[in-house]
Chains A and B, each alone.
Chain A
Amino acid sequence: MIDLTSNTAGIISPNPFWLGSGPPTNTAYQVMRAFEAGWGGAVWKTIGEPIVNVSSRLGGLNLNGQRMVGLNNIELITDRPPEVNFKEIAEVKKRFPKNAVIASLMVESKRETWHDVVKQANDSGADGIELNFGCPHGMSERGMGAAVGQVPDYACQITTWVKEVATIPVLVKLTPNVADIRYVARAAVKGGADGLSLINTINSIMGVNLETLEVAPNVDGRSSHGGYCGPAVKPIALHMLSQIAMDPEVGVPISGIGGIASWQDAVEFIALGASSTQVCTAAMHYGFRMVDDLIDGLTQYLEQKGYTSLAGVQGRAVPRITDWGHLNLNYKVVARIDPAKCIQCNLCHIACEDGAHQCIRPVQPGVREFPVVDEASCVGCNLCSLVCPVDACITMTRVDDPTAPSETWSQRVARTGSSLAAWEASDTHHAGTTTGTSD
């Protein structure tokens, strides 16, 4: 029996799939619909200062017919009064006691104001608090959201104020709009944060209408930078998540956010250290019912791998990440093309010819029926296998001796004495190449 129970800094949910703070968690009606559909938790749409929203608010990035691979928004926090939201949170917790409800908060940077709102959250029956230090648009102009999250001292100070009165776990939500996310993470932990959640949305301009030169999303002919999210941001989120997970100065549980749309995405976040995951764009795209395959797929994955809980995979990929200088320079793969699978599109050839190392000869009727890799020239960059439209047609195959000792750049520099000496000692194409493989 697989147990999907998730525990993030004491916030317990029946599964690791939470709805992230945003439009899907604006009302009790929505959150209860979500819990009925199977979501394990929900971070309420941020509660705080009075705001007025604009129309329109969202912009989408489409790619090759796929809608909304990226989404941005200029919507602010909830436009409903805190009392109403806290009352609804209490109602939801009464009906769904086992599901996690986390109150996302953002108020002006005054100790009393924070104390006041945190106490309301304590009393609402919420399972935890998430401090919105990340919202990059609108609120930041009023000194809140990312304006706090970008300055470690502010983040530390406010977290301290919150912890003075909080009776439930406190997560600090981090903005990715910083040079190094670890500084704010450390500051939040210093201020007493029980856990972190990341990433919030990325600063973005969604696009320009070529007819009118209006910028999306359009508000009466003008626009403003908004927060970018959706599948396209996942690699950025994974990087920041791994940085936090690896940082010995942080060491608190993490709720992972950023482009999660499938159970596979969620497993990646969990493997890189997340205890729970938050989904927003995908739920906005397909509705709450999408959680069904998240739960189903994750359960089957854990079962197949022989794990009984999330612990089996959680954080297990973190040790796989290291600095570039610690990668084995002696490891060598080359591209191998399976003629039985090749459809002769020549994309591997032209990608290698123009974008890589000129080592794949093309299909040419009467000359050769399949592309041929010059393995001696192949540097094992992966590009051909990435552009090949057929699954498993191009395999990157290891050709070095796996039993031979490895050597990293750091080790080689140490052995040879200098970067130049390390370079000269390497099996590198020192001479330039001037010819390609086109016949």
Chain B
Amino acid sequence: MSSDVQTRRLPADHLSRNFEEVIPPYTEQEAVTEAGRCLFCYDAPCIRACPTHIDIPSFIKKIGSSNKRGSARVILASNPLGLTCARVCPVEQLCEGACVLGAHHKPIAIGRLQRHATDWLADSSEAPFTAGTPNGRKVAVVGTGPAGLACAITLRQLGYEVTCYEAKAKPGGLDTFGIVSFREPVAIALAEAAFAERAGVKFVLGTRVGKDVPVDQLLADFDAVFIGAGLGQVPKLGIEGEDLPQVLDALQFIERTKVEPLDSIPIGRRVAVIGAGNTAIDAATASKRLGAEEVSIIYRRSLAEMPAYAFEYDFAKMDGVIFRWLTAPVRILGENGQVTGLECMRMTLGEPGVDGRAKPVAIEGSNFTLPVDMVIKAVGQEGTFEWLKSLDLESRGGRFVIGPDGSTGHPKVWSAGDCAGEGGAEATVVAVVEAGKRAAFGIDARLGGPQARARGNGDARILGAPIPLRAASASPAYVQQGVHQS
């Protein structure tokens, strides 16, 4: 067996076409027509289903009246990363899944409408967010993924001086580097970071906290520190052959497809992707689109336990990805330092484990070898938090323990995103955005609360109009106070 890994398996124009966004934007007429289907429900279920509680009927109504600016304002008031979420939200499980038209008709295409309402901002020089009146407080945000950006933008609107530290040369975290460009182009994530910058959020790029600047320095220089560092690497499989050069980390592989010329990225003729989460699907479809002829997803459980969303699975099937269920990798075979195959073992499902999912059990003597030229690991993520050791933060399962407002045990430290809480690497971007927002409100409450808000929140503006910032949708006072009969 000889290994076959090359660049340019497809002509350059074919490659670039393969990495263009798969879902086309709506034309104005398509958007207005789709918006016209929205019933404009009162107390709409879609709003409740959105983790950031976007007033969806309101933004759709504004699309219907060709008021895209007002529509974007409604979206961004609740979700500062509305452009990314319009693309990557699992809408079938959130807003669109709750649409009252879903049961007997077709739910409103809320995600695509949200994209229509906000996409124009990406190519504009608009500053959709405006800083609140300065309140004299400073916050450091570590990491510029969705949690960090949501926290930074919200704090900035509340009047804080916000400095974001980012280890990479570009901001955006997984939105920039970890979502394949045919789902979200790099420019979209960078535009959202630019909105923060235009609102006055400072960015210190290419600077790794803990290495280039000690975290204790941040604690000394700032009133609060928000940690939204993410996780960042795929854990070791712990099998033979893992160190061969054609064994890749899925996140690093996806990052290459986002920042390097597509015709410079080597890809195997036959690729095995280990894992069946959304990152595994992204790695598998990206491999296919780089020209790999045979791409297999290797998963030790079955379809029912697969963490990837149903639409991701369908998408991968459409791209021709092969799913090998109940299959676990045993060792990676190599010849002359090149991957030649993946030895696997058949599994069966046993009793449910602690997480409720059935435990895979190996079938003795079922070993077989899959001839492959490249192996991509996508079995979750883990972080290394040595650099935060001095803070003595409580962690569980490799993630920081946080309160509902993002607070940690440390009085000056808040956290959210993949590195914190229960969600972990399979948390949705939109849930992470909400967590970042909540942390901003948590910081605000701790650093002065109503007083700070009174000084800083009075003139927060989104796309030119004052919008009251709020953590979630609130009822008017006369309803809360029960003036109405119930």
Contacts and interface: CB of A to CB of B under 8 A. Distances in A.
Contacts of A345: 39, 41-42, 44, 100
A347 B39 contact: yes
B120 interface: no
Contact of A343 (B33, B104, B484): B104
B445 interface: no
Contact of A346 (B43, B479, B486): B43
Interface string A359-384: 00011110000000000000000000
Interface in A83-125: none
B36 A64 contact: yes
B32 A343 contact: no
Interface in B97-124: 100-101, 103-104
B48 interface: yes
A343 B101 contact: yes
Contacts of B220: none
Nearest to A434: B483
A50 to B, nearest CB: 42
A325 interface: no
Contact of B48 (A65, A365, A436): A365
A389 interface: yes
Contacts of A347: 39-42
Most-contacted residue by chain A among B42, B43, B103, B483 (CB, 10 A): B42
A364 B48 CA distance: 11
Nearest to A342: B100
Interface string B430-442: 0000000000000
A64 B39 CA distance: 12
Interface string A419-439: 000000000000000011111
Interface in B67-126: 100-101, 103-104
B383 interface: no
A64 to B, nearest CB: 4
B485 interface: yes
B45 interface: yes
Given A64-B36, A346-B43, A438 B100 contact: no
Nearest to A345: B41
Contacts of A343: 100-101, 103-104
A362 B100 CA distance: 14
A363 B42 CA distance: 9
Interface in A394-436: 435-436
Contacts of A350: 42
A349 B44 CA distance: 12
Contacts, number: 45
Contact of B32 (A65, A365, A438): A65
Contacts of B41: 344-347
Contacts of B36: 64-65
Interface residues of B, number: 21
A364 B103 contact: no
A344 B484 contact: no
Contact of B486 (A344, A349, A389, A439): A439
Contacts of B64: 64
A346 B48 CA distance: 14
Interface in A44-93: 64-65
A435 B479 CA distance: 11
Contacts of A64: 36, 64
B108 to A, nearest CB: 12
A242 to B, nearest CB: 33
Contacts of A349: 42
A414 to B, nearest CB: 39
A439 B483 contact: no
Contacts of B483: 435
Given A65-B32, A438-B484, A439-B484, A364 B104 contact: no
B308 to A, nearest CB: 29
B43 A362 contact: yes
A360 to B, nearest CB: 11
A64 B45 CA distance: 23
A346 B486 CA distance: 16
A435 B40 CA distance: 24
A344 B45 CA distance: 9
Nearest to B485: A435
B100 A364 contact: no
A433 to B, nearest CB: 10
Contacts of B103: 343
B101 A346 contact: no
A382 to B, nearest CB: 18
Q: Which of the listed residues A345, A389, A435, A439 has the most CB atoms from chain B within 10 Å of its own CB?
A: A345
B217 to A, nearest CB: 47
B458 to A, nearest CB: 28
B39 A439 contact: no
Given A343-B100, A439-B479, A389 B39 contact: yes
B34 to A, nearest CB: 9
Nearest to B40: A347
Contacts of A65: 32-33, 36
Interface in B1-41: 32-33, 36, 39-41
A346 B42 contact: yes
Contact of A437 (B33, B43, B101, B484): B484
A228 to B, nearest CB: 23
Contacts of B40: 347
Interface string B355-370: 0000000000000000
Contacts of B486: 439
Interface of B: 32-33, 36, 39-45, 48, 64, 100-101, 103-104, 479, 483-486
16 contacts: A64-B64, A65-B36, A343-B100, A343-B104, A344-B45, A345-B39, A345-B44, A347-B41, A349-B42, A350-B42, A363-B43, A435-B484, A436-B484, A437-B485, A438-B479, A439-B479
Given A347-B42, A438-B479, 5 more contacts: A346-B43, A364-B43, A389-B39, A435-B483, A436-B484
Sorted nearest first, the 3 A-B pairs with minimum C-beta distance are A350-B42, A346-B42, A345-B41
